[in-house]
């Protein structure tokens, strides 16, 4: 067995209930807490690696949901990886490719193996992926509010905290007027973008195109994940760049969307693509096609946030990501908190994810622990 190959002794699946500091509302629902699934990989040599599954409690953002991810990990994905005698993170996708879909579950398992592998090797995730930045610019994602006044007030509070780029969640009935009010409140120079999370349909095309008059940095994923032609038509009608999120499920999907004219900016979420190694490949594809990318977020704890920061350190990440400081979402994070300074957050430099899990916090939010052995 070469130095970078491992054998897993066991894998733990931990379920956590992480309360959010404030409710987060999008077009597909309201979250007041995150039902977190952690994958913890233990090697025979004593290394431990963590991966965070970002699937929501219900299948509303994608077809995946936490109970389903836990089931497929326990019964299919983890056993396939436990059986491997010469395991590396790069082999996880190959070992699990016989099971269709479940990209968020696969991403969590791959990240746990990768974290363990890199901790053994003494290499940071950012260095492994090819990251070139020590700090990355970050933005904040602002959920849908009950009133336009509340939205403007919330945005102004985040501006006071130092967030330079603002993203507004929108949905039919809460789009043009709220966005216009925020634009007037923050002025013409603040980078402002919107995210429809697939809430619009073909009949809304002309309405969505009216967002073009509001001086936006980009319009993100207004239509369904498979509506590539519809996004391409919107792109033809707008000066504002169109960005895709839910449509981007692989490096190949990235290439297809860009070449179809459906987007000129890409939101890369590693979990949606099956892992950080595939996200790196998608980054490379976008770079080859002269398309800027940025890193999306899924309300991750410090573990997932650390991985996103490592990814966002790659050179093609030209726009601030939805990474944000820990305090944006959690009063107590699972790791030492990430703090924003001058609109940027430092990329962890320690081995693997570069962080230590706070066992006291973990114990206080743990709701279930399952162990799977070789």
Predicted local confidence at residue 298, as pLDDT = 93
The full set of domain ranges for the chain reads 8-122+356-373, 127-346
Tell me: pLDDT of 29 over 90: no
Average pLDDT, integer, range 43-71: 96
Predicted local confidence at residue 24, as pLDDT = 84
If one compares 29 and 291, the residue with the highest pLDDT of the two is: 291
With cut-offs at 50, 70 and 90, classify the pLDDT of residue 248: very high
CA dihedral 83, 86, 88, 93 (to 10 degrees): -50
Tell me: pLDDT of 202 over 50: yes
Predicted local confidence at residue 90, as pLDDT = 96
DSSP 120-182: HHT-BHHHHHT---SEEEB-EEE---SSHHHHHHHHHHHHHHT--SEEEE-BTTBSHHHHHHH
Would you state the structure tokens that stand for residue 98, as one six-digit string?
A: 């016989």
Average pLDDT, integer, range 54-69: 95
- pLDDT tens-digit profile of 308-347? 999 999 999 999 999 999 999 999 999 999 999 999 999 9
CATH number of this structure's domain 8-122+356-373? 3.30.390.10
Predicted local confidence at residue 1, as pLDDT = 34
Look over the chain and give the mean of its residue pLDDT values, rounded to a whole number. Answer: 96
Handedness of CA 186, 246, 171, 176 (dihedral sign): positive
Phi, psi of 373 (to 5 degrees): -110, 160
Tell me: pLDDT of 253 over 90: yes
Predicted local confidence at residue 262, as pLDDT = 98
Average pLDDT, integer, range 249-258: 98
The yes-or-no answer to whether 8-122+356-373 and 127-346 have a common fold is no
* Positions marked active-site: 169, 269
Would you state the structure tokens that stand for residue 113, as one six-digit string?
A: 């193996």
Tell me: pLDDT of 265 over 70: yes
Tell me: pLDDT of 3 over 70: no
Percentage of the chain lying above the pLDDT 70 cut: 99
Average pLDDT, integer, range 61-88: 97
The pTM of the full predicted model, rounded to 2 decimals, is 0.95
Tell me: pLDDT of 28 over 80: no
The CA distance from 55 to 180, in Å, is: 32
Predicted local confidence at residue 352, as pLDDT = 98
CATH topology of domain 127-346: TIM Barrel (3.20.20)
Average pLDDT, integer, range 24-35: 85
Predicted local confidence at residue 243, as pLDDT = 98
């Amino acid at each position: 067995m070469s130095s970078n190959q491992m054998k897993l002794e066991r894998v733990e699946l931990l379920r956590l209930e992480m309360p959010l500091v404030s409710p987060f509302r999008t077009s597909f629902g309201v979250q007041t807490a995150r039902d977190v699934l952690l994958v913890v990989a233990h090697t025979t040599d004593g290394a431990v690696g963590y991966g965070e599954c970002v699937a929501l409690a219900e299948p509303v953002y994608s077809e995946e949901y936490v109970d389903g991810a836990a089931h497929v990990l326990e019964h299919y994905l983890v056993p396939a990886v436990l059986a491997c005698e010469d395991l590396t993170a790069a082999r996880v996708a190959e070992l699990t490719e016989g099971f269709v879909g479940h990209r968020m579950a696969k991403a969590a398992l791959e990240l746990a193996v990768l974290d363990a592998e890199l901790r053994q090797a003494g290499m940071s995730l950012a260095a492994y992926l090819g990251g070139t930045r020590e700090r990355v610019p970050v933005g904040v994602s602002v959920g849908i509010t009950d009133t336009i006044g509340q939205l403007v007030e919330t945005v102004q509070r985040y501006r006071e905290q130092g967030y330079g780029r603002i993203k507004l969640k929108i949905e039919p009935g809460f789009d043009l007027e709220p966005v216009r009010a925020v634009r007037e409140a923050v002025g013409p120079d603040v980078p402002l973008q919107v995210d429809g999370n697939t809430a619009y349909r073909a009949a809304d095309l002309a309405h969505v195109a009216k967002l073009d008059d509001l001086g936006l940095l980009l319009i993100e994923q207004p239509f369904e994940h498979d509506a590539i032609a519809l996004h391409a038509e919107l792109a033809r009608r707008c000066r504002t760049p169109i960005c895709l999120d839910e449509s981007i499920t692989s490096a190949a999907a990235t290439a297809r969307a860009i070449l179809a004219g459906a987007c000129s900016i890409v939101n890369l979420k590693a979990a949606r693509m099956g892992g950080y190694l595939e996200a790196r490949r998608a980054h490379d594809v976008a770079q080859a096609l002269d398309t800027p990318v940025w890193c999306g977020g899924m309300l991750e704890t410090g573990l997932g946030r650390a991985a996103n920061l490592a990814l966002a350190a790659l050179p093609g990440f030209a726009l601030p990501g939805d990474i944000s400081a820990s305090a944006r979402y959690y009063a107590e994070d699972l790791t030492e908190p990430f703090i924003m300074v001058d609109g940027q957050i430092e990329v962890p430099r320690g081995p693997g994810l570069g962080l230590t899990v706070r066992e006291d916090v973990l114990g206080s939010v743990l709701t279930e622990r399952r162990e799977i052995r070789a």
